[in-house]
Structure 1
Amino acid sequence: MNDIVNYWGFLTACILLNLTPGSDTIYIITRTIAEGKKSGIVSALGIQTGMLFHVLAVSLGLAGVVAHSTTLFAILKYAGAAYLLYLGIKMWRESLVIDNPNLDELPLGKIYRQGVITNILNPKVVLFFLALLPQFVTSNLENTFLPFLLLGLTLLGTSTVWCIILVIAASPLGCLLRNNQTIGSGLNKICGTIFVGLAMKIGL
């Protein structure tokens, strides 16, 4: 903790940053509305696992390689955009998941992996960590592994709590929309379009 500058200020910043809507937030809410609470929670856990990967990469100094390599950064960016585009088109073509026993048969392992891949392939997460974490670590510190890891896990913890809150809040709305014949018939297409929009946002 001695190598961390203003930990409580960092914690406050984490909470405020979580309240700011981003790609992960939109992704989790969209899956919750389209596929139910269980899918939303599993998607959130997948996203957080992807964030843990980034935290470890930054702590070990690997993320700097990606950030300073135009080629690697571009590969990650376009791969992430292509994957979200694929998910959006797939959701467009799938039938709507209604609140019935079939919700218990959702491929949770697949949904989890999609969340992990979506986050890992977003290079902007790497830049975010590289820009934020050094601001709260003692300058000229030779070994930043432990302070970066602690700060990263703090952000990860607050983000996980916030994502679960979002899922719980969005779940009743999703249930209502899925059971509305007028809205429900086009809900998957709306959610798929949102994914395509996220792909464009990441790719640009």
Structure 2
Amino acid sequence: MPLEAWLALLSASILISLSPGAGAATAMTFGLNHGVRGAAPAVAGLIAGFGTQLLIVAVGLGGLVATSPTLFQAIKWIGAGYLIWLGIQVWRARSHLSLDRETRGSKRQHFISAYFVNITNPKGMVFLVALMPQFMDPALPRTPQLLVIAATLLIVDWSVMTGYSGLASHLSRWMQNPTALRWQNRVSGSALILAGLVLSTATL
């Protein structure tokens, strides 16, 4: 891939990852409640979900979602419902998801929860279907180009999601009394619910 094309891809990747959405809301929720290190499994889950979407698009199955309203709607409502449910659980928690830092769910649970957030976001997959061909040169081998695109998108997204969780973790240090913890849960829950509602309005 020419350097100019890669720099354009890098810029697009940064803008995509920085844009508010379900991934950012999830990373910040885990950062608030578990700290930046505790949020690492959730960030890994987000990246794994994103990577799965990239793989689906790379093998050509992403086009099915982009061209099938029924499949798009099914995935969309599963994802939106899950985000709203997750947001309600966080909103209703008494403090820090009602559990201490050591016992609030396993790393595996955090990974799976975040993975499900990204893999059930059909809007992201449709976006990738439109984005990736813009940086593909038909005259060059396809596989190396796909690897460069995927690596760039994943590394940038991992960096940004880690940054979001770190920012949220830093803010949580100022919210250690019960009233602040309650509002922290409400803000986190509201962000997830809002992300779910926004996803529910997505169309092809």
Segment of structure 1 superposing worse, 75-84 or 159-168: 159-168
**8 A Cα contact 1:96 1:185, kept in partner:** yes
Q: CA deviation at 1:166?
A: 2.2
Give, in whole Å, the separation in 1 of the partners of 2:168 and 2:183.
18
Paired position in structure 1 for 2:121 = 122
1:146 offset after TM fit, Å? 4.1
RMSD: 2.3
8 Å CA contact 1:28, 1:43 repeated in 2: yes
What is the deviation of 1:115? 0.3
Gapped regions of structure 1 (runs ≥ 5): none
Q: Deviations over 1:73-115 (max 9, x none)?
A: 00000000011111112222323129x9x31223221111010
Is 1:175 the counterpart of 2:173? The answer is yes
Quick one: which of 97, 101, 104 aligns to 1:103? Answer: 101
Q: Quick one: structure 1 residues 146 and 58, their matched pair in 2 at CA, closer, same or farther if it must change by over 3 Å?
A: farther
Q: Which residue of 2 aligns with 1:196?
A: 193
1:9 pairs with 2:8: yes
- Rounded to whole Å, the distance in 2 between the matches of 1:146 and 1:70 is 32
Question: Which runs of 5 or more residues in structure 2 are unaligned?
Answer: none
Give the match for residue 187 of structure 1: 184
Once residues 157 and 114 of structure 1 are traced to their aligned partners in structure 2, the CA distance between those partners, rounded to angstroms, is 20
Report the residue type matching 1:68 in the other structure: T
Alpha-carbon displacement from aligned partner over 1:118-160 (angstroms, at most 9, x marks no partner): 000000110111111111112487x744423320221111111
Structure 1 residues 140 and 64: CA distance shift in structure 2, 3 A: farther
- Mapped to 1, the partners of 2:41 and 2:194 lie a distance apart of 22
Tell me the secondary structure at the aligned position of residue 95 of structure 2.
coil
> Could you tell me how far apart the structure 2 residues matched to 1:151 and 1:191 are?
32
**Bigger mean CA offset, 38-47 vs 74-83:** 38-47
| Range with bigger deviation, 55-64 or 132-141 | 132-141
TM-score (norm 1): 0.86
Q: Residues 21 and 185 of structure 1: is their aligned pair in 2 closer, same or farther, counting only changes over 3 Å?
A: closer
What is the total number of aligned residue pairs between the two structures? 199
**Which residue is 1:86 aligned to?**
85
Tell me the residue number matched to 1:148.
146
Between the aligned partners of 1:37 and 1:8, the Cα distance in structure 2 is 29
Percent identity, aligned pairs only, is 28
Distance in 1 (CA, whole Å) between partners of 2:188 and 2:71 is 30
2:19 paired with 1:20: yes
Distance 1:174 1:19 in 2: 21
Q: SS at the partner of 1:95?
A: coil
Are 2:172 and 1:162 equivalent residues in the alignment?
A: no
Normalised TM-score (structure 2):
0.86
